Amino acid sequence: MSRPSWHELVQQARQQRAATQRTRVRRSVSQRDGARCVVDGRNLLNFCSNDYLGLSQHFAVVGALQDAASREGAGGTSSHLVCGHHVLHDALEKELADWIGAPRALLFGSGYLANLAVVQSLLDDESVCVQDRLNHASLIDAARLAGCRLRRYPHADPEGAIRQLRNVPTGMAMLATDGVFSMDGDIAPLRQLALVARVQRALLYVDDAHGVGVVGPDGRGSVAGAKLGIHEVPLQLATLGKALGGHGAVVLGDEDLIGHLAETARPYIYTTALPPAQAAATLAAVKLARSEHWRRDKLAELVARFRERASRVGLELMESDTPIQPVVCGDDVRALAMSKSLEHDGYWVGAIRPPTVPEGRARLRVTLSALHGVGDVDGLVVALERARERSARIMPPAREHTAAN
């Protein structure tokens, strides 16, 4: 029997990625100063960070990190259930639960781990997980690893969700969706999905990684923005590394469900706890996010300004009122060319290509932050218009595409 070597498989995959413009390259950031950063030696204005509220470098957040590290050290030392759970973890969980309006919260090392934990601890091979087709990869992987039946419905289509649930009438059912979709920036139709979940006796789980801190009353996220509570959405996720500027994630929800996760979720039981110093930093960030409403107000103004200016010059946007503002390019080569042009002009905007987004929907994922100013946004739009003109000289015009809703 002849088997290909791992070397051959890796080389073939690499060659395929190169041939289809799908090669991914890491960039090294050597310095950050507000919205500006030094990337591979170049000073760029960053428009691809998820630091929506500008808290990652806030003096109170950094000060809390330093103070706690000086007392508690650099690491978590063990898993939560052995000896790694600290009073700072307790304080952060309680603050987050109080803010979001949930009975209990549970910390995780990342949003990816949290999604694996939720799905694997609740579903088995007799269960079904029905998901939006544009959900984050971690939700899809979680269902596959849980061994349950994975069913996906068209993006933001409650009728599609109910059809999928009706096709699997028995067994535990979970309806899982992003709150704010990370590549499109739109918000899930949560009120309609909550009705679907109630009628079909499914547990509605919302991954609100890009919503908490940014949307909803007091930044409490898309669930609160839809005027839903713990009875309609028994579990939701918030990441701590986006609007809150830190690291890790938290699952919030029903007391019994959170207790079940704490005792059974493998990604919680078998991994080291977040460093207490990181919990202290995030605790400071949560208090700022709760009290400094001007950050969300400013962000909303910048989003509106960007959309108005970009539409005025004919850039193709998607239906999003969040800080995630995709500029559709269609072709992978065009997206890469425009990203390169922007960098030449001093702006860092990532080109997002399949398989992260659907074929023919390559885009520039512009993300706005409270750290940006009006002049930054206006300058970016001018640079985007210039990038479009430059890319048109090197390739045929892109085919027309309809924005996904």
**What's residue 398's pLDDT?**
46
Rounded Cα distance, 131 and 386, in Å: 39
pLDDT of 397 strictly over 60: no
Residues annotated in a binding site: 24, 111-112, 136, 182, 210, 239, 356
- Domains of the chain (ranges; CATH) run 23-53+293-394 (3.90.1150.10), 59-291 (3.40.640.10)
Q: How confident is the model at residue 25 (pLDDT cuts 50, 70, 90)?
A: confident
**Range scoring the smallest mean pLDDT among 119-133, 258-272, 346-360:** 346-360
**What's residue 402's pLDDT?**
38
> Catalytic amino acids?
182, 210, 242
For residue 40, give the 3-state DSSP assignment: coil
**What's residue 244's pLDDT?**
98
Average pLDDT over residues 280-297: 98
Amino acid at 46: N
Q: What are the b/e assignments for 243-268, b being 16+ CB within 10 Å?
A: bbbbbbbbbbbbeebbeebbeebebb
Average pLDDT over residues 123-134: 96
**Range scoring the smallest mean pLDDT among 42-46, 174-178, 198-202, 398-402:** 398-402
Q: How confident is the model at residue 396 (pLDDT cuts 50, 70, 90)?
A: low
Residues annotated in a binding site for pyridoxal 5'-phosphate: 111-112, 182, 210, 239
* Closest among 13, 12, 18 to 333, alpha carbons compared: 18
**What's residue 47's pLDDT?**
98
Average pLDDT over residues 287-315: 97
Give the distance between the most distant pair of CA atoms in the chain. Answer: 67
Q: How confident is the model at residue 20 (pLDDT cuts 50, 70, 90)?
A: confident
In whole angstroms, how large is the CA radius of gyration of the chain?
A: 22
pLDDT in tens, 56-103: 999 999 999 999 999 999 999 999 999 999 999 999 999 999 999 999
Look over the chain and give the mean of its residue pLDDT values, rounded to a whole number: 94
Rounded Cα distance, 134 and 161, in Å: 13
Average pLDDT over residues 160-183: 94
Average pLDDT over residues 337-355: 95
302 — alpha (psi -120 to 50), left (phi > 0) or beta? alpha
Average pLDDT over residues 267-286: 98
Average pLDDT over residues 273-286: 98
Average pLDDT over residues 111-122: 98
- Give the other-Cβ count within 10 Å of 272's Cβ: 14
Task: Give percent above pLDDT 90 in the chain.
Answer: 87
**What's residue 395's pLDDT?**
67
For residue 235, give the 3-state DSSP assignment: strand
* Closest among 20, 110, 16 to 359, alpha carbons compared: 20
Q: Within the chain, how many helices (H) and strands (E) appear?
A: 14, 14
Query: Which two tokens mark 43?
Result: 């000073």
pLDDT of 111 strictly over 80: yes
End-to-end Cα separation, the chain, in angstroms: 50
Q: What is the DSSP string of 279-334?
A: HHHHHHHHHHHHH-THHHHHHHHHHHHHHHHHHHTT--B-S--SSEEEEEEESHHH
**What's residue 401's pLDDT?**
41
**What's residue 285's pLDDT?**
98
pTM for this one? 0.94
pLDDT of 405 strictly over 60: no
- Bridge pairing between strands 347-348 and 128-132: unpaired
* Closest among 341, 317, 342, 316 to 398, alpha carbons compared: 316
Amino acid at 325: Q
pLDDT of 155 strictly over 80: yes
**What's residue 166's pLDDT?**
92
Q: How confident is the model at residue 15 (pLDDT cuts 50, 70, 90)?
A: very high
pLDDT in tens, 180-193: 999 999 999 999 99
| Paired strand residues for 129 | 150, 174
pLDDT of 160 strictly over 90: yes
Residues annotated in a binding site for substrate: 24, 136, 356
Contacts 24+ apart (CB under 8 A), 387-395: 387/337, 387/338, 387/339, 387/341, 387/342, 387/345, 388/315, 388/338, 390/337, 390/338, 390/341, 391/329, 391/334, 391/337, 391/338, 391/341, 394/337, 395/331, 395/333, 395/334, 395/337
**What's residue 394's pLDDT?**
75
Neighbouring residues of 175: CB distance < 8 A, sequence distance ≥ 6: 130, 131, 161, 165, 193, 196, 197, 200, 202, 203, 204, 205
pLDDT of 302 strictly over 60: yes
Task: Give percent above pLDDT 70 in the chain.
Answer: 97
